Amino acid sequence: MDGYHPLLNDPATLSRFPLILTLDTHGIPHRWISWQHACYYHAKNQVAWSMGKHAFTVHGGINRMTGERSVISGSSIIAIKGKAMAMKSFNQVPPLNNRELFHRDRQICAYCATSFSGARLTRDHIVPFSKGGRDTWMNVVTACRACNERKSDRTPEGARMELVYLPYVPNRAEYLILTNRRILADQMEFLAQHVPAQSRLHQQP
């Protein structure tokens, strides 16, 4: 894609280079890709259909035969042909990372219910490793350093510390929301429809 540069239609998005949301042909959210990657799919005629309000246009090189400049227009949400396997990955448990964990828990300590910046938070294993606990979404919560130290190598019961909220496994759509901090309004609207009702994301104001 050498020589390509973005001329995004929406000036507000020009400086931000928002990621493009891909779906499979059933409309199931798949993953985030760069606009360059989206151009690749468009050029290879692999885009089944597209939706979303935000669009971008990139201008390529001049065709020596016709003298015309090549243009690729894309949308903020595109369905990729031959991605039916996305259904399988949709149901897969997403990888556990602190950043996404803290976002799942809205940066609130599960023990003192106080809100902290990411740098002051830790991953607490509800059942500690030493007691057979595992490093999974269902056994971890966000905790501030003070609470994590106080709880130490004990279960909440053993430490007489009560959880103010419960852990859960985010689904694919929620995970996509947790991993991208610059989601366009139409992309968020689409993803939110696939997030289970019990998700904490729906509690956000």
Is residue 21 involved in binding Zn ion (CB under 5 A)? no
For the CB of residue 139, give the shortest distance to Zn ion in the complex, in Å.
18
Is residue 109 involved in binding Zn ion (CB under 5 A)? yes
Is residue 141 involved in binding Zn ion (CB under 5 A)? no
Number of Cβ within a 10 Å radius of residue 179: 18
For the CB of residue 123, give the shortest distance to Zn ion in the complex, in Å.
13
* 71 Rama sector, left if φ>0, alpha if ψ -120 to 50, beta otherwise: beta
Is residue 33 involved in binding Zn ion (CB under 5 A)? no
Is residue 112 involved in binding Zn ion (CB under 5 A)? yes
Beta strand ranges found along 102-204 (DSSP E): 121-125, 140-144
Is residue 110 involved in binding Zn ion (CB under 5 A)? no
Residues with Cβ within 8 Å of residue 138, at least 6 apart in sequence: 167, 168, 169
Element (H, E) at 54: strand 47-62
For the CB of residue 144, give the shortest distance to Zn ion in the complex, in Å.
3
Is residue 140 involved in binding Zn ion (CB under 5 A)? no
**How far from each other are the two terminal CA atoms of the chain, in whole angstroms?**
41
Contact criterion met (CB below 8 Å) for 96 and 136: yes
Is residue 126 involved in binding Zn ion (CB under 5 A)? no
Contact criterion met (CB below 8 Å) for 52 and 184: yes
Is residue 127 involved in binding Zn ion (CB under 5 A)? no
Is residue 147 involved in binding Zn ion (CB under 5 A)? yes
Q: Between 89 and 107, whose beta carbon lies closer to Zn ion?
A: 107
Q: Candidates 15-23, 32-40, 147-155, 179-187 — which segment interacts with Zn ion by CB under 5 A?
A: 147-155
Is residue 144 involved in binding Zn ion (CB under 5 A)? yes
Query: Rule CB under 5 A: which residues touch Zn ion?
Result: 109, 111-112, 144, 147
